[in-house]
Amino acid sequence: MQQGGNNNEAFSLKTRIKRLKRDVNKWSVFTLAIVFFLALPIIFIGVELFSGPGETWGHIVEYLLPDYIWNSLYLVFICSILVLIFGVSSAWFVSRYDFLFRKQMEWLLILPLAIPSYIVGYAYAGIFDYGGSMDLLFRQLGLEFIRIDIMNRAGLAFVLSISLFPYVYVSARAFFLNQANNLLEASKMLGVGERKTFFKLMLPLARPAIVAGLVLVLMEVLNDYGAAKYYGVNTFTTGIFRSWFSLEEPQTAVYLSALLICFIFALILFEKWQVRKIKFTSSKTNSTQIQRNEAKGAVQWMIFLVVFLPIFLGFILPVAQLIYWAVITASTVFDMEFVMISLQSFAIAIASAIITVLFALILIYFSKWSTLSTIKNISRIGVLGYAIPGAVIAIGIMIPTLALDKWLINMLSNFGIDTGLIINGTLLALLYAYAVRFLAVAYNPIDSTALKVDNSIPDSSKVLGVGNIRTFFKIDFPLIKTGVFSAVILVFIDVMKELPLTLILKPYHIDTLAVKAFEYASDEMVMEASIPSLFIIFTAMIPVIFLNKLLIKK
């Protein structure tokens, strides 16, 4: 009996191995290897936790950690309220009503995304500073200027909110535009007013879309370093920088990074819970685009002011301040060194965009060609980097690359070869970090485009004996090139704007426009920061307008 049981177990094991060999082809192995490669920074953060905290961890926990937690929660709470007010109200008004300059407002509301939050922070600091734009304006009008102190936690929350509300606006507007018009008509026939229809019907239905946009906002809030540092607010990200560079405690930085990751994943779980909780509210009826009501008289002007306010605060006012500064400082800032920094920024952003898009294409199509049924879900682990703050990814790369460099230097020294850092502090590490951070930005537009391709077309090619790679270049790629082009542009802009990750990992001899603007502001030369800031903004405006056109088409 015992022997029979052992034979059955051996047979079962052999059967499982055969099934595994049948299900796992080379594409499955390649996909798993790439996912592992892209997840390495987070894996190393987890591994380093077992090494124990640094010597200053006790000091951090007692004196600084409560500030990090309280300030982060404060920013999350206040920013949530403000972006919901700005984003949802604007989305509803431009979707539901026809009013003065509505078409122009639709795309202007997205433009604040073109300005990094730290640049908006610099502009507002100058506007409300003593001797700043508001002070000068009040003097010209013969009025006494009442100075508003914006360089604090509340000011930071305001700056982040007016910079990031378009995430909520875009998500909510996409929902409102495509919501079933018959629901609104039924509400009207029942004699329900516009206000009650919005709060009781449309707002609950739009909650999944609104929550999705809100979670993106809060991820960016927790990722921010430039604005928080400039405004003197202690957050997890500023704490990570302080631990690494000022206290020289990598282990403490790792522990803070792990806590920040917990914050982020709590937000992601909250989003999933909210969407699952109200999934039953999704309309299964044939939807028609929402019909707009024409606003007239005082109502039209009220709607215009409500929609114009976030545009003015989030784009027009800060850009006007930067242009004013740029006119004053252009002769001193715009030189050959600045041209070289601009070219370096563009080159790094283009290279990063190409590499990141290649990773996205590989993950999407290798998982598609895989015979393992679960590989598609596994491949999406590789896109989690966008949820992780740049400073955390940088720490996850710095620690292992420093250890590897130390080993390589010691090994090569035995052969009389003297080298400096080989991987850490090089362009290679920086490009890898950008790929980890922004893979989701490239993955999503390509994947959504690839899903629309009729599988019968590439399948016919395979039936004729044409391989996967050749089929991809001959058939798939021409059909998804729009998605690929969109991905390249979006990654390019995100890399141009990225600050914390670049500050930690950039090579010593290389600067970017974002780093240069930050350095000017840190050296109390905020006026000079306007030139690199405007270059970033005007470069970012192109894909933002492009994104709006895509939304309108859809």
What count of Cα atoms within 13 Å lies in the side-chain half-sphere of residue 324? 15
Residue 421 scores a pLDDT above 80: no
DSSP 46: H
Q: Which among 404, 412, 347, 321 is positioned nearest to 124, based on CA atoms?
A: 321
The number of CA neighbours under 13 Å toward the Cβ of 188 is: 8
Q: What is the pLDDT of residue 13?
A: 59
How does pLDDT run across 38-70, given as a tens digit for each residue?
A: 888 888 888 888 887 878 888 888 889 999 999
At residue 378, the pLDDT reads 76
Query: Does residue 34 register a pLDDT over 80?
Result: yes
Contacts of 102 (CB under 8 A, 6+ apart): 94
Using CA of residue 455, residue 287, residue 485, residue 380, what is the dihedral sign? negative
pLDDT of residue 4: 54
How many C-beta neighbours within 10 Å does residue 397 have? 24
Q: How confident is the model at residue 254 (pLDDT cuts 50, 70, 90)?
A: confident
* CA–CA distance, 76 with 325 (Å, rounded to integer): 31
| Distance (Å, whole) CA 332 – CA 415 | 49
The mean-pLDDT minimum among 206-215, 312-321, 429-438 falls in 206-215
Which contiguous run of DSSP H or E holds residue 185? helix 181-189
Whether residue 193 is predicted with pLDDT greater than 80 in this model: the reply is: no
Span 453-465, average pLDDT:
66
DSSP result, 348-362: HHHHHHHHHHHHHHH
Q: What is the mean pLDDT of residues 275-285?
A: 52
Q: Which residues are within 8 A (CB) of 437 and not within 5 positions of it... i.e. 6 or more apart?
A: 385, 386, 388, 390, 393, 494, 498, 501
121's CB contacts (< 8 A; 6+ apart) are 156, 159, 226, 227, 230, 231
The model's pTM is: 0.84
Q: Each residue of 382-391: pLDDT tens digit?
A: 777 887 888 8
Q: Say what percent of the chain tops pLDDT 70.
A: 84
Query: Which of 272-286, 300-314, 515-529 has the lowest average pLDDT?
Result: 272-286
482-533 pLDDT, tens digit each: 788 878 888 898 899 999 899 989 888 888 999 999 999 988 898 999 999 9
Q: How far apart are the first and last CA of the chain?
A: 66
In sign, the C-alpha dihedral spanning 387, 216, 105, 159 is negative
Picking from 496, 546, 493, the residue whose alpha carbon sits closest to that of residue 110 is 546
- State both tokens at 235: 């957050």
Note whether 163 and 120 are within 8 A (CB): yes
Phi-psi map region of 54: left, alpha, beta (phi>0 left; psi -120 to 50 alpha): beta
Which residues are bridge partners to 294 per DSSP? 98
**Which has the closest alpha carbon to 258: 47, 504, 38?**
47
Domains in the chain, CATH or no CATH each: 54-319 (1.10.3720.10)
Q: What is the predicted pLDDT for the residue at 47? A: 86
